Structure 1
């Protein structure tokens, strides 16, 4: 993809992005029963056409057949419960145990960290959500467990400066603060509705004294790289993407969703190019999406690797090995990337993760 093509695609993408963001928020707040009735056949047909072309024989395998069933059946979806260490409730933890939940990373796991308690269940369903109440911290956050892998891949250490470039709705940001205590965590979200959502999330999970560690901005991710050149130890790019899990739901015309899908890779490339600038030499950058799309995943990475000689891929095989029991990982991917595939009983993902190191 040359610069002219990027520019044209970017113009179209800018016109679609706000609609896409607000629609995504609406989708995420709908109940599973309503979603179940709104699966769009036109979109499912597009899935078949695109992914059978991209994945070849693998798309016809039993693993991907199950994946298609899970993606098109919201009643099969599962949600992890990330406990808030800043307002820990033993009652909530006991209730999780009674309902059959268990720790995502038990004490025997190499990923175990005492302050990081994320509970999962092998059965579908959602633990009751807690509403936002001004001045009162929530006790837990509901999320797709695969999101946690991007935080683990980033390997934030206490005192480091971290930039979350596309931070809303805030799940990975909250998980980062549960995992470590950075010296600075800068959260950016361009879309105004999602930015408001992000602020509410922070108010619900972070005590006032710790808010001094967090700064917020509402800048275009394609320009934020100039904010503080080489000023961050870690950068997370949880890029705007097709979001296969929500993409099937028919809350807007299928033609609009398919048009959005075509231009997202241009945004992703530009945001990722911007993300390299604020990363200090020796620092790490994690790129993640929640789609299977090769155009939005490995093709974006290939473009960056061919365009920059100051970022190198980081081997993530150790993380893959230590998490393979709870997550179904796609085979045939490089050692520098992870692709989580949802299946029944492990309906996490899809989630694509790639890690760079700046030299």
Structure 2
């Protein structure tokens, strides 16, 4: 059966043109071409170190994949093996089979960056506040062995997806430190104050890739864009309350929107006196060969989709609690 070609929502593209030409200038032309051309999209292959298979690595290399470069990148653990290809090909996914651990996970390579920025250490208590579909939790478990990993997802359907992902990638012998919940993330900080060493807030956002091909109401989408920064700020504030003093939170989105990215961090820094921003410029300089980053992004980094580096959008910001 032939695949149905994705159709671009022209009204939303017009809205993006106005917004992102203003925010990104000339860079928007290239970003727009990549976002609107699925044939240019690239996909990374994250190996599951719980189910190692040297034949998979050999097969990837034979098909033009190489391991994500991380020389001198001090927060990049040796246990994390992610393969990428300069060409926009997609390695076949593995089906979920109850009781069987998958060997690899297909993802956008920029999804690694929030987890790398979080820099989880063995034994730490970690909260993935908006965890579905579970990819970043999987990445986190490839990087370290947390003493406790709480994966939260308030949407019941997405929560099922999250649980299935964890079942597919984590053996039973390692699930004793993992829990799942379906709470409103905005309540977690009040109910579990000062409880975590690290918190990841991969916030619900106006996902530029999926929204451009959405069949939903454009008016409703644009209205959502006005509401989302309020929700994102509340989630991040809750995450800060959930942090132990000295702990760190990483905030990330998969949108280019300044209102949902840097402006959210600015709002937090202006209203929360117990956090300070962490400079991520070292991460940018270490990964320039593999990703294209926007220049002069306040309070974080922004991955821009580019030809041959079609990763993102991905905004990442890190704060430490005093």
**So what's the TM-score if we normalise by structure 1?**
0.87
> Does 2:311 correspond to 1:342?
no
> Does 2:286 correspond to 1:322?
yes
Unaligned runs of 5+ in 1: 1-30
> Does 2:139 correspond to 1:170?
no
What is the aligned-residue RMSD (CA, Å)?
A: 1.5
> Does 2:223 correspond to 1:254?
no
Instruction: Assess if the C-alpha contact under 8 Å between 1:230 and 1:279 holds in 2.
Output: yes
Alignment partner of 1:283: what SS? strand
Matches within 5 A, 1:203-222: 203-222=167-186
- Note the alpha carbon deviations across 1:64-95, whole angstroms, 9 max, x for none: 21110001111111111000000111121111
Could you say which residue in structure 1 is the equivalent of 2:265? 301
> Does 2:6 correspond to 1:43?
no
Which segment is superposed worse, 249-258 or 97-106? 249-258
Structure number with higher helix proportion: 1
Deviation at 1:264, TM superposition (A): 0.9
Matches within 5 A, 1:1-359: 34=4, 36-53=5-22, 55=23, 58-59=24-25, 61=26, 63-105=27-69, 109-334=73-298, 336-359=299-322
Instruction: Assess if the C-alpha contact under 8 Å between 2:30 and 2:306 holds in 1.
Output: yes
Q: Distance in 1 between matches of 2:260 and 2:76?
A: 31
Q: Distance in 1 between matches of 2:69 and 2:134?
A: 21
Instruction: Assess if the C-alpha contact under 8 Å between 1:105 and 1:118 holds in 2.
Output: no
Distance 1:80 1:144, change over 3 A: same
Structure 1 stretches (4+) deviating beyond 4 angstroms? Answer: 106-112
Q: Distance in 2 between matches of 1:180 and 1:95?
A: 26
Distance 1:200 1:233, change over 3 A: same
Deviation at 1:109, TM superposition (A): 5.0
Which segment is superposed worse, 99-108 or 264-273? 99-108
Q: Distance in 2 between matches of 1:146 and 1:162?
A: 21
Which segment is superposed worse, 80-89 or 250-259? 250-259
Unaligned runs of 5+ in 2: none
Q: Distance in 2 between matches of 1:138 and 1:255?
A: 40
Deviation at 1:276, TM superposition (A): 0.8
Q: Distance in 2 between matches of 1:106 and 1:290?
A: 22
Deviation at 1:318, TM superposition (A): 1.2
Which segment is superposed worse, 235-244 or 311-320? 311-320
Instruction: Assess if the C-alpha contact under 8 Å between 1:284 and 1:355 holds in 2.
Output: yes
Q: Distance in 1 between matches of 2:72 and 2:64?
A: 19
